[in-house]
A and B are shown apart, each in its own frame.
Chain A
Amino acid sequence: MLEVSRLSIGFRRPRGLWRREVVPALRDVSLRVRAGEVLAVIGASGAGKSLLAQAILGLLPPNAAMSGEMRFQGAPLDAPRLRGRRVALVPQSIAWLDPLVRAGRQVEWAAGRAGLPAPDRAPAAAAALARFGLGMAAARRFPHQLSGGMARRAMLAIAALGEAELLIADEPTNGLDPENAARVLGHLRARADAGRGVLVISHDLAAVLPLADRVAILREGALQETAPAAAFQGNGMALASPYARALWQALPEVGFLPAEAG
């Protein structure tokens, strides 16, 4: 469905008075998301996870320099035409919602982008919100009046309405209690089971392991390995890279070890 080959991203910035330099942020990253699977991209803050999502959606800042190739359903990825329709993002922060527009109205806009005729948009929006446990009271609120968990679910409802083939979720469990996190992750899994592709970006290895099919480990802009989720078990000997093993062994459920063993 989505194929990323040898993607590198750097940021141009001035150096001294005359010269410019490129600060590398993502180096030679290759990965693919298949229909019907959840691929998790895991890494520490600053590893380049969100940059990867921005590149796929064509939302990189203007001073970014990109090389490599991205293909979607066999054709070169045309982000501006696909995003919000065939490729959808569930963003990390409520800053992506319009602060001056009530939540329900923003879900109706999504129904419009999905191609629904005007009279059908309001009922479709209400149904999408109800699927995530949000009623009319929540729909009437402005984004800042929603709790973090409610806002996340409203953004999921927006992404779900589009029936996009590829869903990208950036840190979907941040700030959610286990019950709401399970609800959000359960929905993402259901989307994959319905034949769509799901890319989950997260720092929380323990939370995403139960729903992921494969896990890509990113460190300082470079892909360490892509392992099946089942490889994260026991003492992690099925994992190829020392960093992936260290991440696994640092989990409180496993070893709570603070550093990479030599």
Chain B
Amino acid sequence: MLVAQDLHHGGLLAGLSLALPPGQVVGLAGPSGAGKSTLGRLLAGHLAPARGTVRLDGAPLPAHGFCPVQLLPQAAELAVNPRWRVGRILEEAYTPGPAARRAFGIEDSWLRRYPHELSGGELQRVVILRSLAPGLRYLVADEISAMLDPLAQAALWHRLREYMAGQGLGILAISHNTALLRRLGRVVWRLEDGRLHHAAPEAAAGKIASLCAEVA
């Protein structure tokens, strides 16, 4: 269990507490500038909270080495070294095998390329696979599918959920798209005024359910 308690940070978070259970996707929505990405950075140890604690199974996050909570940022191109080839980027924390590369649709020819020679969606998959190192327990996915078309978005999340179910991984999914968050997990939070609120279910929920039945 990843537990954040009484987090205060830069006037954005006012005593926020959150628990992420393993093997589940928890959704986080909220208006722009509410502090969703800041909360993600705090949970992944990229920032230290002004007050409050982030603990994984009762212990603080390790200060050195691979962090068991990994952040997937909105812009993959800002999360890689532009002077490294894709192959080296991919092996920064561990060496993903050919089977894992295939599962995430990463072609062998990409490994010799530089990050700017891949599309945003392609580089995103590289960054995701890079984070799935042994020892990973939680992923914070910050708007990772906003730039993808509907088919690519659904494919990416189905792949991640499959991996999550196999490894008992926990995911915090941050997105403006509440319809997507409801698809991913039962719990959807809304961050507003520095606190978490239960996201109101959409009026169209009944209609969506009937559409799903038709499609299936």
A residues adjacent to B (C-beta < 8 A): 42-46, 149, 174-175, 177-180, 203-206, 234-235, 246-260
Contacts of B152 in A (CB 8 A): 44
| Majority DSSP secondary structure for residues of A touching B | loop
Contact of B150 among A175, A179, A206, A235 (CB under 8 A): A206
Which residues of B sit under 8 angstroms from A246, Cβ to Cβ? 151
Q: A253, B204: Cβ atoms under 8 Å?
A: yes
In the complex, the answer to whether A44 meets B149 with C-beta atoms within 8 Å is yes
Q: Is B179 touching A206 in the complex (CB atoms < 8 A)?
A: yes
Q: Does B153 touch A at the CB level, under 8 Å?
A: yes
The residue in chain A whose Cβ has the minimal distance to the Cβ of B156 is A258
CA distance A250 to B151 in the complex (A): 5
Of A46, A178, A203, A255, the contact of B212 (CB 8 Å cutoff): A255
- Known contacts A46-B119, A177-B32, A179-B31; is A254 also within 8 Å of B215 by CB? yes
| Contact assessment for A249 and B215 in the assembled complex, using a CB-CB cutoff below 8 Å | yes
The CA-CA distance from A204 to B148 in the complex, in Å, is: 8
Q: Is the CB of A205 within 8 A of B150?
A: yes
Question: Which residues does chain A contribute within 8 Å of B153, judged by CB atoms?
Answer: 250, 252
Contacts A206-B179, A255-B215 given; does A247 touch B150 at CB 8 Å: yes
A150 to B119, CA, bound (A): 25
- Asked if B99 is an interface residue, CB under 8 A from chain A, the answer is no
Taking CB atoms, residues of chain A closer than 8 Å to B216 are 255
Besides the known contacts A44-B148, A174-B146, A256-B183, 15 further A-B residue pairs in the complex with CB atoms under 8 A apart: A45-B121, A45-B148, A177-B31, A204-B149, A205-B149, A234-B214, A247-B149, A247-B151, A250-B151, A252-B179, A255-B211, A256-B154, A256-B212, A258-B155, A259-B151
The reply to whether the CB of B8 lies closer than 8 angstroms to some CB of chain A is no
Give min CB distance, A133 to chain B, whole Å: 14
In the bound complex, CA of A255 to CA of B183 (Å): 9
Q: How far is the CA of A42 from the CA of B153 in the complex (A)?
A: 15
